[in-house]
Amino acid sequence: MSRQAVDRLTAHERYWQKRVHSKPFKRALAAALAQELRALAATRVKDVLDAEPVRSAIREWDSRMVNRELVAELIIRSHRRLGERAARQGQSLRRWLDPQLVADIDAILKEEMTVPHHVEDLIANLMQQEFVRKLFTDIIFTAIVSFYEKVNPFFGAIAMRALEEQIKSFIRLFMPMLQQQATAFAVSRENQRSLLDFARAIMRQLLDEPVGNFAATASAGQRQKAEALIRKAAGNAKLEATMHSAALALWDEVYKAVRDKRVGELVRLDEHATQFAERSVAAIVAALTRPHLLRLVAAETALAAAAPPGRTVEESTAQRTVTAQAQRQRGRSRGQPRP
């Protein structure tokens, strides 16, 4: 605050500006905060936090209040920096994780797992896709070509290439039956073990893969397209509505889970009240010294000092008004002229 601004402060404002920066005030504030945090730890969440105002805030939040282009740019820049930092890492995920956590992951991977029925339905639907049909056709055709090349190295490959379309058309006639057999193979309980073993092997490989390799998977062109998609998604109204609905559903579930718990069960305020309070003092003092808040506190202090003991400012003002009216009424009854 400049010297001229300081000179324009009232006596109460100058007092508070010095007081909030003083060590005795900070110690008193930290002690009061610590006591409140300890009391808060024993309070149930529902008695501290009302769910409906939060729901209203989420439901009525207008994203037009936010600069969407700036948000998209921040997301893109943070992703770039994270990617650059990850690309320089030569260590694997296993080296970054706690040894006990890695052991727990390995234990889960070793357990016997069963593919749920809805996953079986997903596999069946995937097998019916046109991409899978073409993939099977190419695989079978390549196998036939390889066989004839071995049987007749001179003319086998030429003949097969000349008849490629006819052979593929013949293969497509049997494709529905092949797809059904492939689906039955994939969802078979016996074959699921092989699928899960494959998934376990991939998970272990990912844990041992250097982190830098994950960041180097996308080309420059792919990154540009991804960034363009982020910018476009930032202004998508339907995506925004979906996020609103998801945020409301998430809040409802979270509040339902914690509403009857004590705050201390979620955050260890009773054990760390002093530490939390001391760290919060700096932020509170910085807020209290903002010009408008400083004026508010100083003005309220002046009003409190002027009010009679045990009365609020409003009560004192009302009492003075009633007293003045009574005096005017007595004056009129005595025939005194009105002021």
Q: How much is the pLDDT for 157? A: 61
Beta bridge partners of 92: 210
Q: Which residue has the higher pLDDT, 66 or 136?
A: 136
268, pLDDT greater than 80: yes
- Which residue has better confidence, 230 or 305? 230
Q: Packing angle between helix 175-187 and helix 117-127, nearest 10 degrees?
A: 160
User: What mean pLDDT do residues 133-149 have?
Assistant: 77
Torsion over CA: 240, 242, 243, 244 (sign) = positive
Residue of 147, 149, 135, 142 lying closest to 164 (CA atoms): 142
> Which residues lie closer than 8 Å to 338 by C-beta, 6 or more apart?
328, 331, 332
pLDDT above 90 coverage of the chain, percent: 13
Residue 262 three-state SS: strand
Beta bridge partners of 210: 92
Name residue, tokens 């079978």. 140
Residue 299: the pLDDT is 85
The pLDDT tens digits for 75-123 are 888 888 877 777 777 777 777 788 888 788 878 877 766 666 676 677 7
Q: What is the DSSP string of 82-129?
A: HHHHHHT--SBHHHHS-HHHHHHHHHHHHS-----HHHHHHHHHHHTS
pLDDT in tens, 17-57: 888 889 999 999 999 999 999 999 999 999 988 989 888 88
- pLDDT classification of 259: cutoffs 50, 70, 90: very high
